């Protein structure tokens, strides 16, 4: 019997089979979890639905996290199908391309609001809906962040600010939801070739510099992050909440 046998997990933010969220989903499936996924639009549905079908999952919902009514509809359907939820994986982030490549001082107001809304506030909004479905027996929420939340990373700009807000939200949610035995944590993963990362200028150079400087002398993998996701979502991490756990081959520990 797998570690997640009988557990129900909502996974948000799968874009394709290289997504960090998909790596975590596959690991959860191997451990027996029943899963549900969201997609943003028709183009992403054509990618997400076949992945879900590959693991015999038909819990796939349209949900743009900037639309409260769609979040409500997804959780209402999950309540009808499942009754309760054991865990949520939040892997949602977005910033306008110009706001990543231009000087940070030139970040547009609308771009700033969009990045913070999708990348940070969506965690709060999702946690609010998950709370009544977890409150009887507790649960775990895990989100994905990056070192750019703490340090200046070239071409990361407003996304770094959004990730900083996300990490602060993790701490405040952990304090707020701990009384219901709901744990909230973040994984700060090293750079991985994902669809989202493709929008960051000079990302290939970032990968090369990372592998050269990291103590393990390699790039982090989807599997590395998935294993840590399993840990944080499982009872093995029963005493861990409000944390940002680095999975970056030790890169964050290094100086110049």
- Report CA-CA distances (Å) from 243 to 26, 80, 173, 223: 23, 32, 11, 20
Which pairing describes strands 87-90 and 8-12: parallel, antiparallel, or unpaired?
A: parallel
The active-site residue, picked from 39, 94, 121, 156, is 156
Chain centre distance of CA 26: 14
Backbone angles phi, psi at 176, to 5 degrees: -75, -40
Tokens coding 51:
């992945």
- Report CA-CA distances (Å) from 91 to 88, 138, 212, 239: 10, 21, 27, 23
**CA–CA gap between residue 206 and residue 183 (Å, rounded):** 32
- Report CA-CA distances (Å) from 222 to 10, 19, 138, 211: 19, 8, 27, 15
Tokens coding 202:
């000079």
**CA–CA gap between residue 243 and residue 183 (Å, rounded):** 10
- Nearest partner of 61 among 97, 35, 100, 93, judged by Cα: 35
The active-site residue, picked from 39, 94, 121, 146, is 146
Q: Can 246 be counted among the known catalytic residues?
A: no
| 3 state DSSP class of 187 | strand
Q: Can 146 be counted among the known catalytic residues?
A: yes
- Nearest partner of 80 among 25, 8, 135, judged by Cα: 8
- Please give the positions annotated as active site: 146, 156
């Amino acid at each position: 019997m797998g570690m997640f046998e009988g557990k129900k997990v909502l996974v948000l933010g799968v874009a394709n089979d290289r997504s960090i969220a998909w790596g975590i989903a596959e690991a959860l499936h191997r451990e027996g979890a029943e899963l549900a996924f969201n997609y943003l639009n028709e183009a992403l549905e054509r990618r997400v639905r076949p992945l879900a079908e590959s693991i015999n999952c038909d819990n796939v919902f349209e949900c743009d996290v900037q639309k409260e009514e769609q979040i409500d509809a997804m959780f209402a359907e999950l309540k009808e199908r499942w009754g309760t939820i054991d865990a949520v994986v939040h892997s949602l982030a977005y910033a306008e391309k110009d706001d990543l490549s231009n000087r940070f001082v030139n970040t547009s107001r609308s771009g700033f609001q969009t990045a913070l809304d999708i990348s940070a506030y969506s965690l709060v909004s999702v946690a609010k809906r998950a709370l009544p479905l977890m409150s009887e027996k507790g649960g775990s929420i895990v989100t994905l962040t990056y070192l750019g939340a703490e340090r200046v990373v070239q071409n990361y700009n407003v996304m770094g600010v959004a990730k900083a807000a996300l990490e602060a939200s993790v701490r405040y949610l952990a304090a707020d939801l701990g009384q219901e035995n709901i744990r909230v944590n973040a994984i700060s993963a090293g750079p991985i070739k994902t669809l989202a990362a493709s929008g960051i200028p000079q990302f290939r150079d970032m990968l090369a510099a990372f592998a050269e400087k990291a103590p393990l002398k390699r790039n982090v993998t989807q599997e590395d992050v998935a294993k840590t996701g399993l840990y944080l979502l499982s009872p093995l991490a029963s005493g861990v909440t409000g944390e940002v756990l680095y999975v970056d081959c030790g890169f964050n520990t290094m100086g110049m």
